[in-house]
Structure 1
């Protein structure tokens, strides 16, 4: 790949350039890194594409072979890998295996200041107890912190992950143990695996019908497949990726001391000095990076590619991404979000340079399914502070939280610093007199199925913060069809959350999305969860927690029409809410066929999304 890149770089100044990838798996031991020297120009694009009839795979995986039966009684097999190998995922014949894990909410664990106390000292006698990872599932957050040491019954957690996770209020901190992961001793169910990287061994318990002698077993070991590194003064421009498969990459930061202390939608806390806060969010979180990542890029196109079996965000357009197109791709089995556009930091919401604005990007006709497999707080598509982003005609299904999430800040960095979070105060994240870059964004005619499949307090389309300076340049959510939410998952199908302002919802449809419930976990695990037994109805087809207002509903089709504004304690009712001609429906037959047919991928993209 690097040789082809050098040849393309030399030729790109005189004519369009095509780099043709032949059939087969191209294993990358370092990422393909592009900078401004790899740019094309208008009419002289540089294209990386599949050769005719080929299905090339850019893989960051290590093929695992040499399996032998290790424990006949438990049905566990073992294979060698290079010493020091690190990974968080394993795939057997194209199917994600499960990291060895405990039963949900294991008995006998109580919370301590430093971590957890077990019912007995059995864990201290495990072969590598410091490989363990503790997981918390908390409303819309899923947090993961590693175990630093085990002494007797005491599990001491890694820092700064433990401190960061517990900087949030109790309900959203790390109050209880949802499960333990990543120990040989937890290998008890078929399809589970454990990697002892220090010893250079991997263990797996096959599923029924799997034969490891012939199975294709892939262990992702690289974190980045393609890294497009533009700069504000030297962006990367006019590059296309067509018909390729990006597969088998991991993301290793959560396995370190920082873990994964979730804020929201793939953004998390890192470093030290994150002071306790009362609102459940921080001003400067860290993004989950992409296995294919781009920054300060213009006129980049991804068309008909496959993104599969990836351990971070699949495709990540960071700060300064302008006029890019993500068209007709297929995303499946992704640990975090499928697509991420724009950021949430000051350089994104109040940039000092026009080159830092993320604007005029399009995400269209993509098939997105089974995302958020590991970081279940992630959306299918996340859009941060951006101008004129269009997310249209996508098919999104099987997402643990929200299908599409757009916006950030909960009003706190908007002019006037609207406190769109319980416990927030104006000015707590600074004082701004000018609007953010969020304006003119469009969420149009997407088909979203089976959302809120794991956590709760999200929606099919979730938005927050001020979205323009008036209704004309605000956010438009139109023609989207959302259905088949997990029945127990509480949330608003079309969710205008904290600080939402200048949002128009027109011609959207909600079908088979029963009102869910709250769920703060089992009782008796910690004294801090007074609400653990409180499972009450939560949500509707529309509504939100502390939106500002200036929200217009026009010609929508609801099954649960009453807006849900009571999501937060002492909520201010939003101002300027207009409801113009919505219809209550019982089933799909009550919705005009033209609206249902127009949602999701259209034309050739219905059958041609992805590389093959």
Structure 2
């Protein structure tokens, strides 16, 4: 295409005096200048390398009568890339290895840096020590006033760290509690075995925390790894088997965002009616600000932006789009985003998480509040590659959203997080519906990597959330490092939530846990095969904490319920079964002593008669004793994203 052409032809004319445009930015400029304004921008296949984010404002949608569509040309795949191609590769010998290298003047001049590289369409590995797995911290050298103050150094174990010729570009990734810490290396003392950092950890570190090192020259020792030397302005790459230097396509991200849909909700001016259809979004890069004292955020990597950002967007849609190979979250619906839809999208290979809705801030002006958004039939997977604490879908101070029929997997931290008020203070996170989602391999990935973090859930909630319902979901294979690999996790102040008709199995620390909260209902669920204990209730409080009724709990160990157990929880009409038939423990009580306290008076300990639970078949046989207790069977085979073939734009 050519940006001097009209853009009203799909192909150039014979005279090559008119045809399609070259850039989507020019298409948006012409939209503002045209009478009547077009309502559709059709994108031919190929890669559009963006020099800056594509910005859509209320002026664009007002001109297009609030029905602007940016869509893939039928049968073609347009790709928006925030990356730059690395060229000028040469083969040479470096540190005793045959490597390919390229000069990058912008890196040497301090105008560009990156932590990701994509070679021939695949994410390459930043030079890492060790190549697989993790090292364990041996000891802490400094005390802190409390656990919320971090450390700037620790002692490593003998033999863990080899001699490095340079560490000026190196980073240490330390995993502590429920966050990662990305800490620039300041010094290595081999005599005292001390690593020192240019930032402090977010929280106080703990002996035994896991870590690894990145971007050190001698760590470049495996095919597919790369090392970036800032002082040389040079990129080194160790090729994979079968790669040829003359065919190499290497792309490094340069932009933090690809698309910004930005209204002024405080003025009542929204970007309305924009539809993105069939577009692929790739290659973003974002780093912690240099002035930030810590190496990460307090939870969920919430401060990491998204490749696609919306603020003051209303009734906009992302349909059958793909977000991949990014160093950030995928899509963010921020301040004042209302009644938007993300449907049928593939969001994967992520530096952080999948989708963010809302913000940590409570907005008093309804025009600035975020609500009524839908994420449906999306596959969100393979995240946390740079920011391990990021989650599949994060909702903060936002209400009446719908998360329906999504598949979320392979994150190091939580699958879905809803809340952002700790405790019983004011909260906007109510009335959210979480239904028919399939969330699995959280904490520990399906390739066996992890767990590295703690205190997570398949779903995690915070604060007062009257009207939030979690139902008909499938949660499984959830693992925490030190503690806290739970299926359904009601954390601080969770109130007014209903969890029903969920199947939860293979967790490390329990199918259900409530830290503290008020008047939650957990009913008609199946919890199975937790490793340490089946159910946990932590903080006693002087009000009804939760009701647990008509659930089936299946396991193999003795401890059924653990934590701070008091009279302000209600258990009844449940069916429990330990597969070896031995006793169950509820706190320090056996089942009869537990019943004598007025709990589970009508419940039973007997085989529920599942079809084949060891293989994941939790259908009940017709003669199951659970039916007599009022248990209603539910079908989780429908959980997860429903795939549909992408064809043309749905009208």
The question of a shared fold, defined as TM-score above 0.5 by the shorter chain, is answered with: yes
CA drift at 1:478: 0.6
Question: How many angstroms apart in 2 are the aligned matches of 1:209 and 1:486?
Answer: 37
Give the match for residue 532 of structure 1.
Answer: none
Higher mean displacement: 142-151 or 220-229:
142-151
Give the match for residue 181 of structure 1.
Answer: 214
CA drift at 1:64: 2.1
CA drift at 1:404: 1.0
Higher mean displacement: 450-459 or 353-362:
450-459
Of 469, 472, 477 in structure 2, the residue corresponding to residue 476 of structure 1 is 469
Give the match for residue 510 of structure 2.
Answer: 540
Give the match for residue 195 of structure 1.
Answer: 228
Relative to structure 1, the CA distance from residue 571 to residue 609 in structure 2 (aligned partners, 3 Å threshold; closer, same or farther) is farther
Question: Retained in 1: the 8 A contact 2:414–2:460?
Answer: yes
SS of 1:39 mapped into structure 2:
helix
Give the match for residue 400 of structure 2.
Answer: 388
Question: How many angstroms apart in 2 are the aligned matches of 1:30 and 1:48?
Answer: 18
Give the match for residue 463 of structure 1.
Answer: 461
> Which structure 2 segments of 5+ residues have no match?
1-23, 143-150, 445-449, 554-609, 621-632
Of 97, 111, 122 in structure 1, the residue corresponding to residue 124 of structure 2 is 97
Relative to structure 1, the CA distance from residue 140 to residue 504 in structure 2 (aligned partners, 3 Å threshold; closer, same or farther) is same
Question: Retained in 2: the 8 A contact 1:254–1:260?
Answer: no
CA drift at 1:406: 1.0
Question: Retained in 2: the 8 A contact 1:16–1:44?
Answer: no
Matched, 1:296 2:312: yes
Matched, 1:356 2:368: yes
Matched, 1:591 2:619: yes
More strand as a share of residues: 2
Give the match for residue 337 of structure 2.
Answer: 321
CA drift at 1:299: 1.1
- Whose radius of gyration is greater, 1 or 2? 2
Question: How many angstroms apart in 1 are the aligned matches of 2:95 and 2:190?
Answer: 30
Of 225, 230, 247 in structure 1, the residue corresponding to residue 282 of structure 2 is 247
Question: How many angstroms apart in 2 are the aligned matches of 1:115 and 1:550?
Answer: 44
Question: Retained in 1: the 8 A contact 2:176–2:209?
Answer: no
SS of 1:450 mapped into structure 2:
strand
CA drift at 1:82: 3.4
Matched, 1:399 2:411: yes
Of 521, 536, 542 in structure 2, the residue corresponding to residue 565 of structure 1 is 536
Question: Retained in 2: the 8 A contact 1:110–1:118?
Answer: no
Give the match for residue 452 of structure 1.
Answer: 443
CA drift at 1:571: 4.7
Question: How many angstroms apart in 2 are the aligned matches of 1:589 and 1:496?
Answer: 26
CA drift at 1:128: 4.7
- Length, aligned pairs only: 525
> Which structure 1 segments of 5+ residues have no match?
268-286, 415-435, 469-473, 517-538
1:500-539 equivalent positions in 2, closer than 5 A: 500-511=494-505, 513=506, 515-516=507-508, 539=509
Give the match for residue 578 of structure 1.
Answer: 547
Matched, 1:140 2:140: no
Of 310, 318, 332 in structure 1, the residue corresponding to residue 348 of structure 2 is 332
Of 48, 54, 57 in structure 2, the residue corresponding to residue 35 of structure 1 is 57
Question: How many angstroms apart in 1 are the aligned matches of 2:439 and 2:357?
Answer: 19
Higher mean displacement: 332-341 or 108-117:
108-117
Give the match for residue 218 of structure 1.
Answer: 251
CA drift at 1:291: 1.6
Relative to structure 1, the CA distance from residue 108 to residue 139 in structure 2 (aligned partners, 3 Å threshold; closer, same or farther) is closer
Give the match for residue 443 of structure 1.
Answer: 434
Of 586, 597, 600 in structure 1, the residue corresponding to residue 640 of structure 2 is 600
Question: Retained in 1: the 8 A contact 2:49–2:83?
Answer: yes
Relative to structure 1, the CA distance from residue 38 to residue 448 in structure 2 (aligned partners, 3 Å threshold; closer, same or farther) is same
Question: Retained in 2: the 8 A contact 1:140–1:401?
Answer: yes
Relative to structure 1, the CA distance from residue 139 to residue 249 in structure 2 (aligned partners, 3 Å threshold; closer, same or farther) is same
Relative to structure 1, the CA distance from residue 215 to residue 595 in structure 2 (aligned partners, 3 Å threshold; closer, same or farther) is farther
Question: How many angstroms apart in 2 are the aligned matches of 1:493 and 1:609?
Answer: 36
Report the TM-score when normalising by structure 1: 0.78
Question: How many angstroms apart in 2 are the aligned matches of 1:212 and 1:5?
Answer: 38
Matched, 1:556 2:525: yes
Report the TM-score when normalising by structure 2: 0.74
CA drift at 1:106: 6.8
Question: How many angstroms apart in 2 are the aligned matches of 1:78 and 1:259?
Answer: 33
Question: Retained in 1: the 8 A contact 2:32–2:63?
Answer: no
CA drift at 1:338: 0.8
CA drift at 1:373: 1.5
Question: Retained in 1: the 8 A contact 2:173–2:211?
Answer: yes
Relative to structure 1, the CA distance from residue 90 to residue 149 in structure 2 (aligned partners, 3 Å threshold; closer, same or farther) is same
Of 264, 289, 298 in structure 2, the residue corresponding to residue 263 of structure 1 is 298
SS of 1:437 mapped into structure 2:
coil
Higher mean displacement: 104-113 or 190-199:
104-113
Give the match for residue 229 of structure 1.
Answer: 262
The CA deviation string for residues 563-603 of structure 1, in whole angstroms up to 9 with x for no partner, is 6335x5x654872422332234535433379622321122x
Relative to structure 1, the CA distance from residue 404 to residue 362 in structure 2 (aligned partners, 3 Å threshold; closer, same or farther) is same
Relative to structure 1, the CA distance from residue 252 to residue 237 in structure 2 (aligned partners, 3 Å threshold; closer, same or farther) is same
Give the match for residue 6 of structure 2.
Answer: none
SS of 2:428 mapped into structure 1:
coil
Question: Retained in 2: the 8 A contact 1:123–1:150?
Answer: no
CA drift at 1:27: 0.3
Matched, 1:46 2:68: yes
Question: How many angstroms apart in 2 are the aligned matches of 1:114 and 1:504?
Answer: 42
SS of 2:51 mapped into structure 1:
coil
CA drift at 1:460: 1.3
Question: How many angstroms apart in 2 are the aligned matches of 1:352 and 1:96?
Answer: 42
Question: Retained in 1: the 8 A contact 2:411–2:441?
Answer: yes
Higher mean displacement: 93-102 or 444-453:
93-102
CA drift at 1:119: 8.7
The CA deviation string for residues 257-284 of structure 1, in whole angstroms up to 9 with x for no partner, is 55632311113xxxxxxxxxxxxxxxxx
Question: Retained in 2: the 8 A contact 1:565–1:573?
Answer: no
Question: How many angstroms apart in 1 are the aligned matches of 2:156 and 2:542?
Answer: 45
Higher mean displacement: 287-296 or 142-151:
142-151
CA drift at 1:211: 3.1
Question: Retained in 2: the 8 A contact 1:145–1:258?
Answer: no
Question: How many angstroms apart in 2 are the aligned matches of 1:169 and 1:144?
Answer: 14
Give the match for residue 563 of structure 2.
Answer: none
Question: Retained in 1: the 8 A contact 2:74–2:647?
Answer: no
Question: Retained in 2: the 8 A contact 1:360–1:389?
Answer: yes
Question: Retained in 2: the 8 A contact 1:235–1:298?
Answer: yes
CA drift at 1:189: 2.4
